[in-house]
Amino acid sequence: MHQCTMASDDDANLPEPRLLDAPPSYAFVPDGMRNPIGRPSKYRPEYCQIAVEMGLHGKTIAGLAAALTVSRECIYQWARDHEAFSDALSRMRELSQTWWEDHAQAHLTAKHYQAQLWRYSMAGRFKDDYGEQNKTVDVTVTLRDALADAKPVRAEVIEVKDSKAD
């Protein structure tokens, strides 16, 4: 925050408030551009191809981040900043899902294939296609409507004989 000198009420001859120090040159960076303060980005366009290749082997974004020695948050930031990288990540997810589906198909007939483990893994990895879909439905019923729609039930008393008494 820049500090301003303030004119005193007693002295009307003082100049208008002014900045004590000029704003830094990076203060006028256009919208959408990163602030040049800090380290330069490690992003390289060739990371798009690396992401796609890792997807071909069923790898995840966490695996990509580890391979590029950056955090997952960095990967997501690159996707926000670079449309081509965002597209590559989408393709990576599709290819990874395909790899896991192919893996399951190839091993379903194996004697000790753990289908339940595969199912949970897929539900965690690919929630849109394999996660449980919890849909809620709002239903409002008034007691008057429920009673009006209810059919009368005739109760019958059934006589039970005690077989020991005979």
Q: Which of 130, 114, 111 is CA-nearest to residue 122? A: 130
Phi, psi of 118, rounded to the nearest 5 degrees: -60, -45
Tokens of 51: 């992401």
Please provide the average confidence, as pLDDT, over all residues in the chain. 74
- Predicted model pTM: 0.53
Q: Which of 70, 47, 67, 71 is CA-nearest to residue 59? A: 67
Each domain of the chain, given as residue ranges in start order, spans: 47-108
pLDDT in tens, 26-77: 434 444 545 556 678 889 999 999 999 999 999 999 999 999 999 999 999 9
**pLDDT at position 36, please?**
57
Q: What is the DSSP string of 102-150?
A: HHHHHHTTSTT--HHHHHHHHHHH-HHHHS-----------HHHHHHHP
Using CA atoms, how far apart are residues 80 and 135, in angstroms rounded to an integer?
Answer: 30
